[in-house]
Structure 1
């Protein structure tokens, strides 16, 4: 069809829409009734219109043409981990996210298809000798990998450096000086979301976190090709989470331009833990599905889902398969890979993107003005602000205004979980001396679930 059907209708201005809404409200106040405020201070309107645009929306820097399905593999036994990774690839995974808490024999992975399957690496320890060996192994295999030590993320979540400020700094320098590849920076921002930071805080802290590394490495001319990878947790606010990823790309481009670095970044997205529940756990599949959708539509390069039972079950074939199949259905059956930028031009999403970016940049500038991210971590400012945000959200959950189906909204009183727990699903306390207060990840429903578990035993 060459003729647009819309030509048969007269254009309706924003003013006309609002007048019609006012009539339908029958005297109720427009602002009080239909405009609501998000935790980030963004006022969401009932409709968005081209008339309200001051200028065309700019393109999102580095928005990918396609996205990959990743599978998370924890390396405990190398042989088992390699087998699981190969099986995941056979069943549709297009990238692997390896996590390890200790050194491992990398030669066991010699038959892994490194040249065709990108990998993400998260080492929860810092060893210069092992890092050099692993990096040499991966380069020999011509692997596409996204990995660099992130001691700042460890400091934020643990309260201590891996070793010490000086030692971590030296090992970070050694890691980057021993390669001819473009310098890689890894920024793990998942802790901020999982601990209750609002989206403006998440974005500002991600940028300030990255700035600490850029300020250190980008001064050398050879490092102008820095490749920055953000690990991002996606929550349940569907449209806002789409905008969050887009805003991250936009504000990172602004920061990178100040250092004359590559203005695009790489984003690995995974669902948040904060809104996942122990009771009525199958609802977690619905939550992770919409969160993965937000990640895809927002423009993540790679999406790694989490199993619906990850809170209380050890890693198992069924849970991992379901989590991977959720992504396969989105990609292969729902055609979420057909259009690379479906959010472009949506007045609502574009407006939220713009507001999140502006507010995040404002907070970022305040952080830098007051000494920078590390300084504010040491002073406890970052932790205090996240706590304030988390407490507000917790109060809304406790009051029933933030609803989690099957937990504080339409709970099933017959649901019993006491005999199904293979893992401890709550915040674990580990008394120790720390340099600073760690940022603690905590789910919204923990207190309520502990009360229900206790009642089960009575």
Structure 2
């Protein structure tokens, strides 16, 4: 096994490959025939070669992704039963979403015991901000790894308002939480999925994620918040679409740029990537096609280095909660994890010339947008002025026009 078969062949350079392709084209223009440009401004070539190989450092500690079941808390007892069932059927993490404070004891009854063997991680998604409720939650989940997912800027981007109608009050509550939480509690989050689902390009998503979290970094530095507050992982919520290789590269590019941003601040902060399938391409009329889309999207999320993946049920558009659909969604991830062996290695996409090239280009273009945002006053300023919303709308309209004109095709609708 020490003899390598391909040593018997002479290496072929990128120049030689291109010359051979041009001969086979029989006079057709190479650039017009085989090159295509994406909405991100990236030119995709017909082949990629070691001669042009550039590897960005996108190291991650992720060795095995968690399978997360998301549960909306409307009735604590009902939600509790759903969670315990999910844990018994393969889920290794739980996300609770709530619009208002709830009874923590009823919700978590027997939940921690059910997930104890799996080192259960608890994620929360609050559509409100209450210091008293957070304090109670922290008291009743001591010594557990939890992610509070607090993102006042994300609420501003989504609703146009701060949680408390005041930036100062929102950030004062955030400061209080940051100062009193233990090292096993992740407080901050950045909702990048909002931008993807609204129509932002992948370059915009990465740039806005950086600018978004940079607002929190500036707050920590300027408001006398201890630097230990950012030594806890920050949760980044990404949505992944059907552009398979680009989505892998998007997550890798973000990790790379985030590590650079942390170096600039001298912060030792990890990015914790929580991924869900995109909402933009799901269909109501041929909903079984959603199974195919979510499968490839979850694969992109895993290969891109996600820490946790929460799959969407194929019928989630018209069923608020459906046991069969949610079980199938978990089983998709279990198959990818255990039968496709995607949990057996980390950095699976390393060494792919195509993915590495896409990663580099997305990172380069996103960094340029990020710098432009910072030069013009920062992310919150552009949100309030409507600049971010306008740019995302332009991207979404451009994509819609491409569908209308037949330049882009979405099968199975």
Say yes or no: does 1:111 pair with 2:110. Answer: yes
**After superposition, where does 1:31-50 map in structure 2 within 5 Å?**
31-50=31-50
Q: Which moved more, 1:264-273 or 1:177-186?
A: 177-186
Deviation at 1:340, TM superposition (A): 1.3
Say yes or no: does 1:312 pair with 2:318. Answer: yes
Partner of residue 19, structure 1: 19
Q: Give the 3-state SS of the residue equivalent to 2:234 in structure 1.
A: strand
Say yes or no: does 1:401 pair with 2:400. Answer: no
Partner of residue 292, structure 1: 298
The list of structure 1 runs, each at least 4 consecutive aligned residues, that deviate by more than 6 angstroms after superposition, is none
Deviation at 1:45, TM superposition (A): 0.5
Deviation at 1:218, TM superposition (A): 4.4
Deviation at 1:170, TM superposition (A): 1.8
Q: Which moved more, 1:379-388 or 1:327-336?
A: 327-336
Cα distance in 2 for partners of 1:178, 1:134 equals 13
Say yes or no: does 1:256 pair with 2:262. Answer: yes
Deviation at 1:59, TM superposition (A): 2.7
Deviation at 1:62, TM superposition (A): 2.3
Cα distance in 2 for partners of 1:17, 1:241 equals 27
Partner of residue 147, structure 2: 146
Q: Give the 3-state SS of the residue equivalent to 1:121 in structure 2.
A: strand
**After superposition, where does 1:160-171 map in structure 2 within 5 Å?**
160-163=161-164, 164-171=166-173
Q: TM-score, normalised by structure 2?
A: 0.95
2:66 aligns with one of 65, 68, 81? 68
Partner of residue 52, structure 2: 52
Structure 1: runs of 5 or more not aligned:
408-458
Partner of residue 454, structure 1: none
Contact 1:257 1:263 in 2 (8 A): no
Q: Give the 3-state SS of the residue equivalent to 1:147 in structure 2.
A: strand
Contact 1:292 1:327 in 2 (8 A): yes
**After superposition, where does 1:354-393 map in structure 2 within 5 Å?**
354-393=360-399
> For the aligned residues, what is the CA RMSD?
1.4
Deviation at 1:401, TM superposition (A): 2.4
1:76-103 Cα deviation digits (max 9, x unpaired): 1111111111111111011111111111
2:176 aligns with one of 170, 174, 178? 174
1:439-458 Cα deviation digits (max 9, x unpaired): xxxxxxxxxxxxxxxxxxxx
Q: TM-score, normalised by structure 1?
A: 0.86
1:376-402 Cα deviation digits (max 9, x unpaired): 001110011000000000111122322
Say yes or no: does 1:91 pair with 2:94. Answer: no
Q: Give the 3-state SS of the residue equivalent to 2:96 in structure 1.
A: strand
Cα distance in 2 for partners of 1:183, 1:120 equals 9
Structure 2: runs of 5 or more not aligned:
none
Q: Give the 3-state SS of the residue equivalent to 2:150 in structure 1.
A: coil
1:2-31 Cα deviation digits (max 9, x unpaired): 211111222111111001100111101111
1:385-436 Cα deviation digits (max 9, x unpaired): 00000000011112232222232xxxxxxxxxxxxxxxxxxxxxxxxxxxxx
Deviation at 1:292, TM superposition (A): 0.1
